[in-house]
Every structure is written in structure tokens, then in C-alpha cells.
Chains A and B, each alone.
Chain A
């Protein structure tokens, strides 16, 4: 990590790396139109994915903890199992669901809700977001569920007894007590989505490449440029971090 950081100030000349202290790479990363577009798209995709994944993971964890109770543990095992089924396999699974003749389109057509297959379901930014959400959901459930294990049924009942309806219960009791887990889940989803470069190539269109793809290119094959790749990576991390901290602040404010 540190060596990568040092590397980001070097120069690349042909296939050689030349030690230096230059901000040229960073300048390129920020000024270049292409990189800027990709950065913005990446951060947006990451943020939207996290914003979709975390509430769903919260709802799932809530159900596992308080609706299914003991059977919640069983569901947890299934969630863990799904994580072992492999990343690529799961991306391909989403392809068969979202594809033009995929599960979703054929079902909707069969139901008569649409006449033509929905084109935007595959090879688009939406496809990337949906697939990433599906991939990251189990990972987000884990920290939230374990945080909810610390909330006792008595505490929930006490809040209701004192007059809290569902919304208040979540806002004043569940969210604050589950906040460490929610933060972790948000960080997982945001960082991993923003750093992904496999999903865009498999389900994304020409307009949905992410910064991860460019960064990966900088580290392999012809035309690679390690220092530039490192600089791009650090800019991405910095932006993600700033947004993450802002979100944490806002969440803390809302649930006070």
C-alpha cells in the first residue's frame, strides 16, 4: 500500500519506472475528461449501490433477528453459503436473470406487463448497479445482523410500550444501536462497488466502464502506467472516503 503510494509520484517512460516526486499523475487523473467522467460514474455507481444494499440488508437483518428469531440463524448460514459460491458464478447468474431473453424479461412478458424486452436491464449502468447490489447484499447483512443481535427484545418492547410506533422504533432505538454494523455495511458496499472492474465488463455497456477498469489496465499489458494507476486509485479512495464520512455524519445526526 505504502509502496503504491510512493509509486504514484513516479514517472513511467516506456516500460521503465523512474523515481521522482511529481504530481503530474494526480493532475492527469483530475484534469483528464475521460478520467473525470469515469471517476464521477464510479462514485455514483458505488454510492447508489450502497444506498440500495444497506436498507435492504437492514430489512433482511431485522426480519432474521425479530421475525424469524431462531430460524434467523439458519438464514444466516444460507447467506454465508452464498458468499462461497464464487464471485464470477454469481455475476453470470445475474446475466441470465437480466439478459434480453433473461428470467426477468421473460417473466414480465409472460405476465403481459411489457411487450418488448426491457433493453436497459443488461449492458447498462443499471445492470451494473443491480448486479453489484446482488453481489454485495450478503456481505452487508453480516455486520448489520450481528449488531442487531445486541438489541434485546425487552428493549424493543420497552420502546413500543412507551409509545414508539414502527418509524420511531427504528429511528430512535434500532438504527442507533445497529449503527456500527450499518457503517461497516455501507463501507463494504461502497468501497467494493467502487473498486469493482469485473462486473462492468460482464454486464455493463460501453458507457458503464468504471475507474477500476482503467486502473486495472494501467497495471497490465501494453500501454500500462503503474504510477498513473496508483494515482487514480488514491484519488478514488480519497473521494470514497470523504463521501463515506459525510454519510456517517448524516446518519448520526438523523438518529440522534
Chain B
């Protein structure tokens, strides 16, 4: 690959007997915004710190724009890291924090002044250069941390949950700003988060991690519509999982037996007859019907157990014979007349479900 910004090749990392990363491969393209998404403790920060140079991999390699940096210390890497809690230098004001790396690079006073001013404008804190770090709000402090990391013009910017300490409103606003800054600078960002919405909103591609491995890499649409396995589909957004056994595979269509009902779905590689698998269907793809007959292969029967008003939609839960609850998000008029205790059919379009090989049943 010629335009690869970061190449992580076969990286493993152990802390004593604990393995934090197992054989991770990931390539980030030039100008790309990639998120590492996963639950707490799955190894996101460890992977980012290996790219930054704070940890060295037990085995494997890291390249940045073609250069092998695997054993290089952080001060000599063309990457900068934005820390979760800013880590501003408390004995320096905002200006000096941002100018820190530029002074180390021995830039001229004039050039530093111009750059700091440009950075302050970028993060919209034009008049705060003289403030001390303790005189900033949480959001302002993170903006300064971002400006400080970007000032030295790193080839790759690494961000480790930089907004996790901010409240929701501010976080949403900063997500959009951060994305805009990345586009404007045409920079390469690698962003760590455990918040799936954040990853979906900002990323060109998302790498989903679980227990030290990357389990799927793809665009937000890919990952949302075509999750690679049960873990991903469960992790990204709400989903209904109907578990069953594969009965037959014919003409690209697999038939599953789920609680005595035969359901059909486009097959994927690696599925075999008799295997345990799951059908994943998003709640917004499920409709509730009172008709007598069940459409062939794309509906199940259940009894309504819950009706929840969500504002823009109504979420209806129905329990199947085996106790599984299937959720459907309906518009107001679709939910009219439904009541808890009703026996209904839950149906969906033929293309709606995805077949998943279970990896954590």
C-alpha cells in the first residue's frame, strides 16, 4: 500500500502472563479518520500507546508512512497523542502549553506566535492564550490539549477517549468540530472510544476490538448493516438476535430453525448445515402484524410484553416461545391498537436480517 499512514502488523502485547493484544493487524490510510471501538479493557489504549511509542509490542511491527518506528521512543515519532484528561502542564499558560513542542523544535519566536495563534483560532479559543490550565472549563482544556498536539504538525494524531470526561451536549458538539478539523487539516486521526455513537458519527472506518483482537474493520454503514459476528452486532446499536440451527443451504440462502419456525437469510461463508448460528435484525426493520398467516421464512410469533414510548418512535417488545424478547421500533400509527398480552406476528423484509456465526453464545 503506498498511501498507508499507519501499518500495524501482527502486533502482540503481553504484560507478564496477561495478554493485552493478540496478533493485531490494521492499516490506516492517509487522511483517514479511524476509530478503535470496544468495551473497557479490550486493549484499545494499549494499541494506541504502541503506535505512540509508550509501549513496545512483544512481537510485531508498527510503521508510520512507511518508516518502521517499532522501537523508536515517543519523542522521536511523527505522532502526537491527546490524552483522556488533557494532561496540560499546570505551570504553563495556554500559550506556552501549545508552544511547548515548537520551542523544542527551535522555531523562531515569530513563527511560534503565528502557529499558536492559528491553533487557538482552530479550536476557537482566540483570547485565552494567557489563561492558566486551572482557569479553563473541561471542554476548553481538551481543546487546548488538541491544539497542543496539533501544533507540532504530527503526521498522525492519536486520541485516547479525549471527550469521555465531558457531558453529552458538549461531547456531541465537539465530535462534529473534531471531525471538521480533521477534514480541514487533511490529517490522519486514530481515535479511541468505547462509545459506539461517537465512533459512528465521526469515523471513516471503525475497527471493533474484543479481548485484544480486532474483530471487524469497516465503514460505519458496513458495520451497522453487516456485522461480522454476534459480538459486533450486539455491540453496535440495538439488535435482535434469533439463535438457531442451520437446516439447509441452497442457492445462497440458508434456512434456520428458530423456536420451531423456519427462517431464511442470505448465507455467508463459513456456515455449514447443523451449525449453531444467529439471525440479527435491527428493531427498526421489524414490523408487528395481526394477520393470521406468517410470511414464509421471515416472521415469528410472539406475545407483546412491553410497549415503551420513545418520543420519535414506539418500541414494542414481544416474547417468543423460548422466552427470547424481540424488539420492534414502530411509528405512532403502526402501534395503534396494540396492547400488552396481544398475540402478534413479528415480520421483516427478506433482505433485513444478517446471518451471524455465534462466537459468544
Contact = CB atoms under 8 A, between A and B. Distances in A.
Asked if A pairs with B, the answer is: yes
Contacts of A216: none
A162 B87 contact: no
A150 to B, nearest CB: 9
A157 B54 contact: yes
Given A157-B54, A157-B74, A162 B90 contact: no
Contacts of B219: none
Given A154-B83, A168-B104, A160 B75 contact: yes
Interface residues of B, number: 25
Contact of B90 (A161, A168, A172, A177): A177
Contacts of A155: 87-90
A158 interface: yes
A168 B105 CA distance: 12
A152 B83 CA distance: 12
Interface string A216-256: 00000000000000000000000000000000000000000
A176 interface: yes
Contacts of B79: 161
Contacts of A162: 75, 80, 100-101, 104, 148-149, 152
Interface string B32-54: 00000000000000000000111
B101 A163 contact: yes
Nearest to A152: B87
A173 interface: yes
Interface residues of A, number: 17
* Residue among B53, B75, B76 facing the most chain A CB atoms (10 A cut-off): B75
Interface in A138-167: 152, 154-155, 157-165
B75 A163 contact: yes
B73 interface: yes
Interface string A21-32: 000000000000
Contact of A154 (B52, B76, B87, B101): B87
Contacts of A164: 75, 100, 104
Contacts, number: 58
B87 A157 contact: yes
Interface string B75-106: 11001110111011111000000001100110
A172 B53 CA distance: 21
A163 B106 CA distance: 11
B281 to A, nearest CB: 43
A162 B84 CA distance: 16
Contacts of B74: 157, 160-161
Interface string A168-191: 100011001100000000000000
Contacts of B104: 162-164, 168
A168 B76 CA distance: 14
A136 B9 CA distance: 52
B75 A177 contact: no
B89 A159 contact: yes
Nearest to B148: A162
Contacts of B105: 163
A176 B90 CA distance: 10
Contacts of A159: 89, 100
A196 to B, nearest CB: 34
Nearest to B83: A154
Nearest to A163: B104
A177 to B, nearest CB: 6
Contact of B91 (A154, A163, A176): A176
Interface of A: 152, 154-155, 157-165, 168, 172-173, 176-177
29 contacts: A154-B83, A154-B84, A154-B85, A154-B87, A155-B87, A155-B89, A155-B90, A157-B74, A157-B81, A157-B87, A158-B83, A158-B88, A158-B148, A159-B89, A159-B100, A160-B73, A161-B53, A161-B75, A162-B75, A162-B100, A162-B101, A162-B104, A162-B149, A162-B152, A163-B76, A163-B104, A163-B105, A163-B152, A165-B75
List the 7 closest A-B pairs by CB distance, nearest first.
A154-B87, A162-B101, A158-B87, A163-B104, A161-B74, A160-B74, A176-B91
Given A154-B84, A157-B54, A172-B100, 12 more contacts: A152-B87, A154-B85, A154-B87, A158-B88, A158-B148, A160-B73, A161-B53, A162-B104, A162-B152, A176-B91, A177-B90, A177-B91
